[in-house]
């Protein structure tokens, strides 16, 4: 119970900080919108609806991946001001509560981006899913958590290294690749309605469980690495 | 000869081992070149004798890297000296994994050009293998961008993540349609190769295993020496001070 309270305190603190500054969400949102526009330069989505349906699942996730990478570094860099992170390390509260709290706050931020971005995608790319559209309500949170849990962890890992902005995508992308494959395949299958996405949803769920466990177990090591 | 010089020499058993490795490599080459021609691909298939050992072994070195990283994290508080050795071994095994995976990718592409007419196909097995390569390149990059004690801890954590990722990637072989031929060994009833080709496969596997172990050991020794030198730099207080600060005092 106390653990849940620690987590909630961290979530509350991050939400409050974001509510006051609104830096992360605004930045991510505009960035994701730019990605949508830039991808539309690569092909004409309205003239080729079949191609649009086949590739826009991938475009959506690539846009979200890039947008969340830009925000994840900032979410930890905040803790460096006034040595807040060192204070966190001194507290008797478990370190993994800090991690889970941060990850949940980031999940909320990226989910807000998705809520805005998904309709924009549907309008700009002229999409209407041919498969079971409600499955996206399962795929989007599972896929986002897969990106966020590892992203938050590796942002903490690269926090005190040289070139932390550069390092995060370099270590996050290879590790997240099976999850990206699963979420892109699942989304494309829902949009085209050709195959059953349930296998990829299961893979995503398994990935989430495995890597959440690994992150929680190893976070304290990373936090105290000097 | 003092102790330090002695420890820096190439030991006799290592020379013997190197000679043995080169002999087995030469015999493996002879076997690969004299094995019977393949029915459909002719001589082109001989790259298989290099592709197979390198790909198999590049799935072994990541696990050595994982074990070393785990031991580093396990020992780092209570046995710092042992932990340093584990870190050196983790670095060496990751570098050899990248080396072998690169050779596996290169020979695979040569073979694909001959067999399929294209250098690269984005099928599941090729993609997962490329991912293995990317994972360990990112491990080496992380080592390059960090320093000191932090480098060992952070890279050990990344090594554990990468090792968890490899089987997840590997499982997707069975789930995604694949263009790569079904596993040659243990892939079903009509898998396996002509028994006349088997000696060449086994000799080359033995040869490249010996060679991989040699490169790994050499890299480990070099890293250990680098660690000793940097430790000596940081702890050796008996060195005479350089004359510059004295001049400044005057």
Contacts of B154 (CB under 8 A, 6+ apart): A157, A161, A222, A225, B142, B146
* 3 state SS of A92: coil
Return d(Cα B51, Cα B34) in angstroms, integer: 17
Contact across the interface for B165 and A174, Cβ inside 8 Å: yes
pLDDT digits (tens, 9 = 90+) for B186-242: 555 455 667 777 888 888 899 999 999 999 999 999 999 998 888 888 776 554 444
C-alpha distances (whole Å) from B105 to each of B20, B171, B213 are 27, 19, 20
* Count of CB pairs separated by less than 8 Å, A with B: 80
Q: Give the CB-side neighbour count of residue B41, counting CA atoms within 13 A.
A: 14
Check CB contact of A85 with chain B, cutoff 8 Å. Answer: no
Most confident of A157-161, B112-116, B160-164: B160-164
Share above pLDDT 70 across residues of chain B, in percent, rounded to a whole number: 82
Q: What share of chain B is helix, strand, coil (3-state, %, to 5)?
A: 75, 0, 25
pLDDT at A142: 93
CA A36 to chain centre: 17
Contact across the interface for B138 and A174, Cβ inside 8 Å: yes
Q: Which of A157, A199, A210 sits opposite B157 (nearest CB)?
A: A157
pLDDT at B243: 44
| Closest chain A residue to the Cα of B140, Cα to Cα | A171
C-alpha distances (whole Å) from B48 to each of A179, B58, B96, B199 are 31, 15, 20, 13
The candidate with the shortest Cα–Cα distance to A148, out of A72, A207, A206, A204, is A72
> Which pair of tokens denotes residue B58?
């590049």
pLDDT at B250: 33
pLDDT at A219: 92
> How many helices (H) and strands (E) in chain B?
9, 0
As a whole number, the mean pLDDT across chain B is: 81
Buried b vs exposed e over B5-43: b needs ≥16 C-beta within 10 Å?
A: eeeeeeeeeeeeebeebeebbebbbebbeebeeeeeeee
Return d(Cα A4, Cα A1) in angstroms, integer: 5
Contact across the interface for A174 and B149, Cβ inside 8 Å: no
Element housing A47 (H / E): none
Give ∠ CA A30-A118-A15 in degrees, rounded to 5.
60
Return d(Cα B43, Cα B60) in angstroms, integer: 29
Element housing A33 (H / E): helix A23-42
Mean pLDDT of B158-176: 79
* 3 state SS of B42: strand
Return d(Cα B129, Cα B146) in angstroms, integer: 26
Return d(Cα B222, Cα B15) in angstroms, integer: 16
pLDDT digits (tens, 9 = 90+) for B47-104: 888 888 998 899 899 999 999 999 999 998 888 889 999 999 999 999 999 999 999 9
* 3 state SS of B38: strand
Per-residue pLDDT of chain A (226 residues; tens, 9 = 90+): 788 999 999 999 999 988 998 888 888 889 888 888 888 888 777 778 788 888 888 888 988 998 888 888 888 888 888 888 888 888 888 889 999 999 999 999 999 998 888 888 888 887 777 777 788 888 999 999 999 999 999 999 988 888 888 889 999 999 998 888 889 888 888 888 877 788 889 889 999 999 999 999 999 988 888 7
* 3 state SS of B202: helix
Check CB contact of A219 with chain B, cutoff 8 Å. Answer: no
Selected for mutation to probe chain A from B83, B142, B178 (highest A CB count within 10 Å) is B142
Return d(Cα B120, Cα A75) in angstroms, integer: 39
Chain A from 139 to 198: CB within 8 A of any B CB: 150, 157-158, 160-163, 166-167, 170-171, 173-175, 177-178, 181
pLDDT at B8: 63
- The model carries a pTM of 0.85
* Nearest-neighbour CA in chain A from B56: distance (Å): 21
Name the residue with tokens 């076997």.
B31
CA dihedral B195, B197, B199, B202 (to 10 degrees): -110
Check CB contact of A217 with chain B, cutoff 8 Å. Answer: no
Question: For the purposes of burial, counting CB atoms within 10 Å of the CB of B194, is it exposed (0-12), middle (13-18) or buried (19 or more)?
Answer: exposed
> How many helices (H) and strands (E) in chain A?
8, 0
- Quickly count: other Cβ atoms within 10 Å of residue B183's Cβ: 11
Contact across the interface for A226 and B146, Cβ inside 8 Å: no
CA B97 to chain centre: 3
Return d(Cα B204, Cα B6) in angstroms, integer: 34
Contact between B107 and B47 under an 8 Å Cβ cutoff? The reply is yes
Return d(Cα A102, Cα B26) in angstroms, integer: 57
Q: Which of A171, A177, A226 sits opposite B158 (nearest CB)?
A: A171
Contact across the interface for B154 and A167, Cβ inside 8 Å: no
C-alpha distances (whole Å) from A157 to each of A68, A72, A127 are 16, 12, 38
């Amino acid at each position: 119970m106390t653990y849940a309270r620690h987590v909630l305190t961290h979530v509350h603190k991050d939400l409050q900080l974001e509510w006051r500054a609104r830096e992360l969400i605004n930045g991510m949102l505009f960035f994701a919108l730019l990605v949508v526009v830039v991808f539309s330069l690569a092909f004409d989505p309205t003239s080729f609806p079949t191609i649009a349906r086949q590739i826009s699942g991938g475009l959506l996730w690539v846009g979200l991946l890039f947008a969340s990478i830009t925000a994840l570094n900032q979410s930890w860099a905040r803790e460096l001001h006034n040595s807040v992170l060192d204070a966190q390390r001194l507290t008797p509260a478990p370190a993994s509560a800090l991690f889970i709290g941060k990850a949940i706050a980031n999940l909320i931020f990226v989910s807000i981006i998705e809520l805005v971005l998904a309709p924009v995608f549907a309008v700009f790319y002229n999409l209407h899913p041919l498969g079971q559209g409600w499955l996206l309500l399962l795929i989007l949170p599972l896929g986002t958590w897969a990106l966020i849990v590892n992203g938050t962890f590796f942002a903490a890992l690269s926090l005190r290294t040289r070139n932390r902005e550069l390092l995060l995508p370099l270590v996050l992308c290879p590790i997240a690749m099976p999850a990206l494959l699963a979420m892109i395949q699942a989304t494309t299958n829902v949009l085209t309605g050709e195959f059953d996405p349930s296998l990829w949803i299961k893979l995503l769920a398994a990935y989430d469980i495995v890597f959440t466990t690994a992150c929680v177990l190893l976070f304290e090591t990373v936090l105290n690495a000097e | 000869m003092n102790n330090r010089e002695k420890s820096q020499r190439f030991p006799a058993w290592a020379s013997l081992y190197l000679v043995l490795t080169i002999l087995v490599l030469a015999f493996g080459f002879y076997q690969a070149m004299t094995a019977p021609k393949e029915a459909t691909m002719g001589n082109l298939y001989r790259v298989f004798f290099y592709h197979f050992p390198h790909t198999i072994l590049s799935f072994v070195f990541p696990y050595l890297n994982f074990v070393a990283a785990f031991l580093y994290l396990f020992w780092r508080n209570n046995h710092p000296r042992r932990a340093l050795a584990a870190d050196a071994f983790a670095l060496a095994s990751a570098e050899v994994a990248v080396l072998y995976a690169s050779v596996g990718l290169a020979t695979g592409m040569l073979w694909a050009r001959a067999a399929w007419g294209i250098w690269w196909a984005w099928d599941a097995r090729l993609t997962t293998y490329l991912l293995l390569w990317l994972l360990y390149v990112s491990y080496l990059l992380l080592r390059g961008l960090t320093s000191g004690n932090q480098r060992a801890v952070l890279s050990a954590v990344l090594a554990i993540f990468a090792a968890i990722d490899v089987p997840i990637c590997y499982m997707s072989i069975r789930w995604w349609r694949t263009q790569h031929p079904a596993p040659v060994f243990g892939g079903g009833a009509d898998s396996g190769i002509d028994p006349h080709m088997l000696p060449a496969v086994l000799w080359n596997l033995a040869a490249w295993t010996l060679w991989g172990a040699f490169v790994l050991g050499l890299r480990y020794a070099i890293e250990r020496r680098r660690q000793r030198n940097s430790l000596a730099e940081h702890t050796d207080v008996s060195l005479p001070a350089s004359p510059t600060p004295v001049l400044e005092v005057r």
